[in-house]
Amino acid sequence: MNREDQKRAPIYEALEKFRKQRVVPFDVPGHKRGRGNPELVELLGEKCVGIDVNSMKPLDNLCHPVSVIRDAEELAADAFHAEHAFLMVGGTTSAVQSMILSVCKRGDKIILPRNVHKSAINALVLCGAIPVYVNPEVNPKLGISLGMEVPCVEQAIKENPDAVAVLVNNPTYYGICSDIRSIVKLAHAHGMKVLADEAHGTHLYFGKNLPVSGMEAGADLAAISMHKSGGSLTQSSILLVNKGVNADYVRQIINLTQTTSASYLLLSSLDISRRNLALRGEESFAKVSEMAEYARNEINNIGGYYAYGKDLINGTSIYDYDVTKLSIYTLGIGLAGIEVYDLLRDEYDIQIEFGDICNILAYISIGDRTQDIERLVGALADIARLYKKDKAGLLSGEYIAPKVIRSPQEAFYAEKKSLQIRETSGCISGEFVMCYPPGIPILAPGEMITDEIIEYIIYAKEKGCSMQGTEDPAVEHLMVLV
């Protein structure tokens, strides 16, 4: 395909044609182009509810595409330099789970870093695969886990030659990249597939001077969050497949869990966003990189904060860095990241992506403007001036290496009892505990609960992190194996 082909948006074009036909609907959805729900029309507009339609012959079907959706997927594959692309309407959670379920079955081993998104471990609960964790090095100051080091992956492969796949975060939420090219070569040499979780890496396929993308590095499958840095609607993503993978089988796996009533609002947003990135992505992400670097310099000039970037690169645990990520260490002004997050929202009307124990992340994308960056920098300077305090007593670190006792599936479905959190030391967790965002589990089913983990959970709660994953909404009790 060429650039002219990328100017097409088959799903969007089919919807526009359909809209002009004024077809009388005796199908679902029941709001009938909004007539049955005027409040919805008021909120979203007539044009939006008018194209919230069901699959039909002229609009194709996501479960078994043969026309406009198939064309849109072929254009997406071409734009991302993949062999095949699947449009996903269940978010990147669905894409991550589909790629794991495509290569793993019950009892199979998969090598992965422990700082994975909960969707990856949820996939292990679903299929019964066994995790082999490559525990990443932690930056002791920033309290963040780094990338997988190639010698550590090599050791895991040698110790587990029967493993079927290696999963790599490319990049992490904080912008840190492993040497994915070398990991791919190593895994392929031992007959293992490589899966790239690129929830935070859509732009790597279009920007210049950014870390290598999963497909370019030779990964077999990659999950892409188009709605994060790609500009599509929330919950819309893409699953990319490289040469040598049976795409028809992957489609069957996707159809095990994906809705049979795919939203055409999400599908058309993927179609339009892919076209936008294919035609204008390079210049758009050049501006994003420029804005993020400008913000990084301005924030580092305030004093107390540390907006980190390429200066972290060490060629091993931080093989490369995604400069579009504006990750900022806040303990230097005596405030936990989540406290700065709350202040920015409550006092300055600025909503950032997340705050953890040590850091905040401001997500810079194609929709940002320089004046927004200025406002963020000004607010951070103000917070440093007004709220700075001694950092004594503040915890650092968001990663505690786990001890896996039972497989996630075994533990999730085992008989369990509820204990007050301080009584659980030495028990095996039967559920997840995590701060969301970023959604990296502090505890996963099957892992040993320690005093250190208990203190961390209580501290994160006290600081105001949004805790999730437990049956108890207040996270005062944990379900443990009997």
DSSP state of 15: H
Around Cβ 29, how many Cβ atoms within 10 Å?
A: 16
Q: Please say if the pLDDT value at position 265 is more than 70.
A: yes
Tokens representing 13?
């074009």
pLDDT for res 78: 98
Q: At what angle do helices 180-189 and 150-159 cross, to 10 degrees?
A: 20
Mean pLDDT, residues 58-83 taken together: 97
Check residues 125 and 456 and name the one with the higher pLDDT.
125
Pairing of the two strands 109-113 and 130-134: parallel
Calpha distance 49→46 (Å, rounded): 5
Query: What is the rounded CA–CA span in Å between residue 45 and residue 43?
Result: 6
Identify the pLDDT of residue 401.
78
If 0-12 CB within 10 Å is exposed, 13-18 middle and 19+ buried, where does residue 54 land? middle
Nearest-angstrom CA–CA distance, 321 and 57: 45
CATH of segment(s) 408-481: 3.90.105.10
Q: What is the pLDDT of residues 304-335, one digit of tens each?
A: 999 999 999 999 999 999 999 999 999 999 99
Report which of 241, 233, 209 is spatially closest to residue 95, judged by C-alpha positions.
Answer: 241
State yes or no: pLDDT of 383 exceeds 90.
Answer: yes
pLDDT tens, residue by residue, 438-474: 788 899 999 999 999 999 899 889 888 889 999 999 9
Q: Which tokens belong to 349?
A: 């009307």
Q: Is the pLDDT of residue 80 over 70?
A: yes
User: Amino acid identity of 6?
Assistant: Q
Give the pLDDT mean for 182-188.
Answer: 98
pLDDT at 181: 98
Ramachandran angles phi, psi of 148, nearest 5°:
-80, 130
In the chain, % helix, strand, coil (3-state, to 5) comes to 45, 15, 40
pLDDT band at 26 (very low <50, low <70, confident <90, very high): very high
pLDDT at residue 390, rounded to an integer: 86
Q: What are the residues facing 221 on neighbouring strands?
A: 195, 241
Peptide bond into 211 cis (omega under 30): no
pLDDT in tens, 274-303: 999 999 999 999 999 999 999 999 999 999
Average pLDDT estimate for 60-76: 97
| DSSP state, residue 429 | B
Cβ atoms of 196 and 223 closer than 8 Å: yes
pLDDT digits (tens, 9 = 90+) for 386-413: 999 987 777 766 567 788 999 999 999 9
Q: Are 139 and 426 in contact (CB under 8 A)?
A: no
Q: Cβ–Cβ contacts within 10 Å for residue 87, how many?
A: 27
* Distance in angstroms (rounded) separating the CA atoms of residues 160 and 147: 20
Asked if 381 and 348 count as a contact pair (C-beta separation under 8 A), the reply is: no
351 near 430, Cβ under 8 Å?
Answer: no
* pLDDT confidence bin for 40, thresholds 50/70/90: very high
List where CATH 3.90.105.10 sits in the chain: 408-481
Q: Where in the sequence of the chain do the CATH 3.90.1150.10 domains occur?
A: 281-387
Q: Which residue has the tokens 């870390």?
A: 211
For residues 473 and 456, give the distance between their C-alpha atoms in angstroms, rounded to a whole number: 18
Per-residue confidence (pLDDT) for residue 466, from 0 to 100: 87
Res. 88: pLDDT tops 70: yes
| 8 Å CB contact between 96 and 125 | no
- pLDDT, one tens digit per residue, over 239-255 is 999 999 999 999 999 99
Q: Quick one: pLDDT at residue 397?
A: 64
Cα separation, 464 vs 454, in Å, equals 16
CATH numeric code, 281-387:
3.90.1150.10
Q: What percentage of the chain exceeds 70 in pLDDT?
A: 99
More confident residue, 357 or 122: 122
408-431: pLDDT as tens digits? 999 999 999 999 999 999 999 999
What pLDDT sits at residue 398?
A: 56
Q: What are phi and psi of 444, to 5 degrees?
A: -125, 160
Question: For residue 217, what pLDDT band results from cuts at 50, 70 and 90?
Answer: very high
Per-residue model confidence as pLDDT tens digits over 154-175: 999 999 999 999 999 999 999 9
